[in-house]
Amino acid sequence: MRTKTLWLWLALLVTGLALVAAGCGGDDDEGGDAAGTGATTDGGGTKAANQEITINWGTEPPSLDPGLASDTTSAAILLNIMDPLVLLDEDNQPQPSLAESWDISEDGKTVTYHLRSDGKWTNGDPVTAEDFEYSWKRTISPDLAADYAYQFYGIVGAQEYNGCEKSCDALADKVGVNAVDDQTLEVKLTSAQPWFVQQSAHTSFLAVHKATVEQFGSKWTEAANIVTNGPFKLESWQHNNSIDLVKNEEWRDADSISLTRVNGRMIEDATTSVQAYEAGEIDVNPNLPTEEIARIKETDDYEKYTSLGTYYYGFNMKNITDVNQRRAMSLAINRREIIDNVAQEDQLPTTGFTPEGMPGFDAINPESKWLPENGDMEQAKQLMEQVQNPKTNITLLLNDAPGHRDIAVAVQAAWEELGIKTTIKTQEWAQFLEFIGPPPDKSVDVFRFGWIGDYVDAINFLELWTCESGNNSTNYCNEELDRLVDKARATADNDARYELYAQIEQIMLGDDGDMPIAPIYWYTSSYQERDSIRETFSESLLGQVDLRGVEVRE
């Protein structure tokens, strides 16, 4: 073949491809156009004609079975396709949803939900209290092996049923969940738990449609099979690719829903997410890479939400035994600098463990003097000198997600000034979890960790530090703290309980506190949002996006 012919082929191929790509440009085959970008509106825009949006769920939900869902993506979708008993408002107080009212007995141990009569499944069946009894017992059952079964342990008989190994059906009947009639659900608790109704807003407490589950087994959540009862329907689910929702016109309150369709992509890579947003392919992006946040903050698309979560460094108290050393190490950390220059998401510097935004925060927050916003190197050094046998060779263990290493390096430099040589070790997630146990591996002196709230009460944060807690990897054990936690669990009155929480925070991080951890910041959540939905779109403290209130405006 002559060279010229080869050239010709090459040129033809390239030109052909370019022409084809350019010529067919502009045609968007992927469902729903992105909502119009339009000019900036200052509040009170008018409702647009096109009420379709495209969002990025971020990743494939591991399961859309409420009994098995244990992550935020599944919860985000379930919140919108199902009808919970209660919904949390901006103050995180429970508001009626499928339950139009509820009574709590004098002793606080019995909660009775009164269900609306117009709840309906997408196949026409009415939603009844039996659905909830069935679903809750199913989640608690040992056969389902649900991760979140522990959420129900506050209910009489639940822990026993869940831990049963054989002949378990008898124990199922003893669980304190009972459908008195079609519209009445009675729950018996092991003790007064004032946050129970709030907690029942969680996805684990959603009902599933019994006949569908029994017919399709583990495949009941596929789009072709699933039966739901919420404001949106799951129209299609292409695994690891997309989940599309459409408005459920039969829903009991369908008139209040503006959105007609929600197309959901699953773009895990943060950089691609940003590019998809900026190319107009998606209208909301929750997935921002740390390096780009500084740039995106300057744009009009940026939005920040507070989250209920604490980022902290935990001490292995068996290795770093002197409380003054732990206090010194905490004092040395300049949280403001880390937030402004390293993490860069406008996080909040911690002044205690329980995050801001938690009800009762003002009463609970210890404003610990060991957690100064800008650090206090002088005092840290002084304290360090008082330590008899300081541990000067420290191993700091991190998991390998982005961002942790940069923060660790900043902290390493701070501890250097105290005469502490820090070795940073990074491990992948599953390995990391094995190392911190509890109990933490001998080689671990300090580890990075975080806690995101399950529900909106401080007990969720403070009970982590009891002696037996499976989430306490610090070897910290203070019986007084345990006693206070138990007492708080039995205290119905909010103010009295907040007072107990305040005492717990003092025990941990107060002036004479034991300092098992050095909290660093309280999480925030960053988004890119189009002007057309900015007014109505928001993420709750628990990381939930409720599409019920979202409306596309011009």
Spacing of C-alpha 391 from chain mean position: 35
Judged by beta carbon, residue 486 or residue 499, the one nearer other proteins is: 486
Contact indicator for 148, 70 with CB cutoff of 8 Å? yes
Tell me the backbone φ, ψ of residue 522, rounded to 5 degrees.
Answer: -100, 135
99, 146, 207, 387: residue in contact with other proteins (rule CB under 8 A): 146
Residue 529, Ramachandran bin (φ over 0: left; ψ between -120 and 50: alpha; else beta): beta
Q: Alpha carbon of 219 to those of 213, 223, 224, 232, 389: distances in Å?
A: 8, 9, 10, 20, 59
Q: Is 12 in the site for other proteins (CB under 8 A)?
A: no
Residue closer to other proteins, measured from CB, 70 or 112: 70
Cα distance between residue 212 and residue 505, in whole Å:
47
CA distances to 13, 187, 241 from 283, rounded to whole Å, are 36, 41, 17
Size of the site for other proteins (CB under 8 A): 75
User: Is residue 79 within 8 Å of 193, Cβ to Cβ?
Assistant: no
Q: Could you tell me the smallest distance in angstroms from the CB atom of residue 267 to other proteins?
A: 4
Stretch that binds other proteins, among 95-103, 107-115, 449-457, 515-523 (CB under 8 A): 449-457
Provide, rounded to whole angstroms, the least separation between the CB of residue 27 and other proteins: 6
Measured from the CB atom, the residue of 158 and 484 that comes closer to other proteins is: 158
Instruction: Show the site string, 468-497: x = touches other proteins by CB under 8 A, - = not.
Output: -xxx--------------------------
Minimum Å distance from CB 266 to other proteins? 6
Give the dihedral of Cα atoms 53, 59, 62, 67; nearest 10 deg.
-40
Interface map 269-288 toward other proteins (x if CB under 8 A) = x-xx--xx-xx-x-------
Cα 102 to the chain's mean position, in Å?
Answer: 26
> Of 123 and 238, which CB lies nearer to other proteins in the complex structure?
238
Q: Which 206-265 residues touch other proteins, going by CB under 8 A?
A: 218-222, 238-241, 265
Q: Which is nearer to other proteins, 272 or 395 (CB)?
A: 272
| The two three-digit tokens of residue 116, written as one number | 């609306």
- Residue 382 CB, nearest distance to other proteins (Å)? 34
CB of 41 to other proteins, least distance (A): 25
Q: Stretches 56-64, 181-189, 247-255, 333-341: which one binds other proteins (CB under 8 A)?
A: 56-64
Considering only 34, 35, 53, 64, the residue that binds other proteins (CB under 8 A) is 64
- The DSSP H or E segment spanning 501 is helix 494-509
Return the number of the residue (232 or 312) whose C-beta is nearest other proteins. 312
Beta carbon of residue 375, minimum distance to other proteins (angstroms, whole number): 26
| Helix ranges (DSSP H) in 321-376 | 323-332, 335-337, 361-364
DSSP-H helix ranges across 308-437: 323-332, 335-337, 361-364, 377-386, 404-416, 429-436
SS3 for 369? coil
What amino acid is encoded at 54 in this protein?
T
Q: Scan residues 157-196 and list those touching other proteins (CB under 8 A).
A: 159, 162-163, 165
Minimum distance of other proteins from residue 229's CB (angstroms): 19
Site for other proteins in 14-43 (CB under 8 A): 17, 21-22, 24-30
Residue whose CB is less far from other proteins, 399 or 491: 399
d(CA 495, CA 361): 11
